[in-house]
Chain A
Amino acid sequence: MEMETNLSEEGGVSRVYEIGYLIVPTVAEDSLDKVVGEIRSSIEKAGGSFIAEGAPSLMRLAYDMTAREGDKNVDYDRGYFGWLKFEASPESAIALEESLRTNASVLRHIVFRTVREDTRAKIKAPTLREVKTPRTTLAAPRREEEVSAPVSEVDLDKALEDLTTE
């Protein structure tokens, strides 16, 4: 994958980064904006420009994560996952990582270099699955639907009796 590196007007390099973060579930839904705002402002302060963003949403974690809160460990099985894509200098990316690390409401974060284009696959999962068509169903001719006339109870009983007596 070709990573983008552009020279900005000041002569410094500018690269495309993406950050993913997990916010602890104890944060109230309406104060999420505040936490995200903190992250955004630390990027803006460093002179970064946003490319794309995914709003944090509460999700179940694939495994429990332990966080140190005060002097005890707390296990979380869910968190608000959100992401941000932006362009900034390598120095500001390091500074951002530091600010995320010290942010107590960020359970976990990831920063990595990426490309400007949208990297998410356009195709939904079900269409990705290979459809296996067994040969037999294709080869076998469709059986013509049998026309079944309504059978009376008496006829049915009689037919059953014939079968059982044999």
Chain B
Amino acid sequence: MANILTQNDIQHVDYKDIDLLKQFVNPHGRVMSRKRTALTAKQQRAVEAAVKRARFMGLLPFIQK
């Protein structure tokens, strides 16, 4: 998997972009590791923060059975 954010020239990760964030969570709703996402450390942190905000607002699940 290549770095989606760099590929599509995305500078900011918004918690409302759930379609984008869904690319970085596995079917259980957990954030994928950097090995799988191939993001830079900075991007990975931005994605993590966005996923957590989205979870809190009920846009993404905390867990999915």
Contact = CB atoms under 8 A, between A and B. Distances in A.
Contact of B15 (A20, A61, A79): A20
The interface size bin for chain A is 20 to 34
B32 interface: no
Interface in B1-21: 1-2, 4, 8, 10-17, 19-20
A128 to B, nearest CB: 6
A150 interface: no
A128 B53 contact: no
A65 B4 CA distance: 32
Given A20-B16, A81-B57, A128-B19, A121 B10 contact: yes
Interface in A62-109: 62-63, 65, 79, 81, 83, 108
Given A128-B4, A128-B19, A108 B56 contact: yes
Contacts of A9: none
Contacts, number: 67
A63 B63 CA distance: 9
Nearest to A78: B58
A105 B56 CA distance: 17
A152 to B, nearest CB: 53
A45 interface: no
Interface in A93-140: 108, 110, 112, 115, 117, 119-125, 127-130
A128 B15 contact: no
Contacts of B16: 20, 54, 83, 120
14 contacts: A59-B59, A62-B58, A62-B62, A63-B58, A63-B62, A108-B58, A112-B53, A115-B12, A119-B14, A121-B10, A121-B20, A122-B10, A124-B19, A125-B20
The 6 closest A-B pairs by CB, nearest first: A125-B19, A61-B58, A119-B12, A62-B61, A119-B14, A120-B14
